[in-house]
Amino acid sequence: MLKQLEQGKADLVITKDLSRLGRDMREASYYAGQFFPEHGIQYIAIADNFDTEHDNIMVPFLFAMNEVYLRDGSRKVKDVLRSKREGGQYCACPPCGYRKDRENRHRLAPDKATAPIVERIFRRAAAGGSSRKIALDLNADGVIPPLVDETLFRRAQESLSQGGQGYNHMWKSIFGGAGGVC
């Protein structure tokens, strides 16, 4: 969007409120107070009754309050997740080989559908197979990484056929490599 604004393709930006402009007070203040006026762009934040066409001396205070509100919300979410984890609840995507328990979504249960894949990965790794080789073999056999649908997998297969990496990075993340999906 910024590129389009810099190119003069729009002269109006509207958001629900000032917090939608940016998460950082300095960044949001820069856009509302400097960038938009320099580029002839009107900015309106509906819920905060803000319009760059009119002076509003409360704007710095509103940006500061938004930042405090966001930091407080973030802290509260982290506290809730920490409390759930300390209480034995699982709060993330299940690792390959597991699924969320049907009766209690905060517990993991073995996933019979992916267990053979996990066993295969461990056997190959124990036999000295590299992450890359195991990932390439899984891709070649059409084994889809967790959280990847058929369409994305087909794109990865095309990437592999053209010398690309396919989903190697996702498989590597599953058995201890860098990057990827949970």
pLDDT digit string (tens) for 156-174? 666 666 665 555 555 555 5
Q: CA–CA separation, 39 vs 26, rounded Å?
A: 18
Of the pLDDT bands very low, low, confident and very high (cuts 50, 70, 90), residue 179 is very low
pLDDT digit string (tens) for 37-77? 889 999 998 988 888 888 777 777 888 888 888 888 889 99
Question: What's the one-letter identity of residue 116?
Answer: P
What per-residue string of b and e applies to 48-70 under the rule 16 or more CB within 10 Å gives b?
bebebeeeeeebeebbeebbeee
* Number of C-beta neighbours around residue 87 at 10 A: 8
Helix or strand holding residue 106 (H, E): none
Question: What's the one-letter identity of residue 44?
Answer: I
Q: Which architecture does CATH list for 2-86?
A: 3-Layer(aba) Sandwich (3.40)
54 and 48 in contact (C-beta within 8 Å)? no
pLDDT digit string (tens) for 6-39? 888 888 999 998 888 877 778 888 888 888 888 9
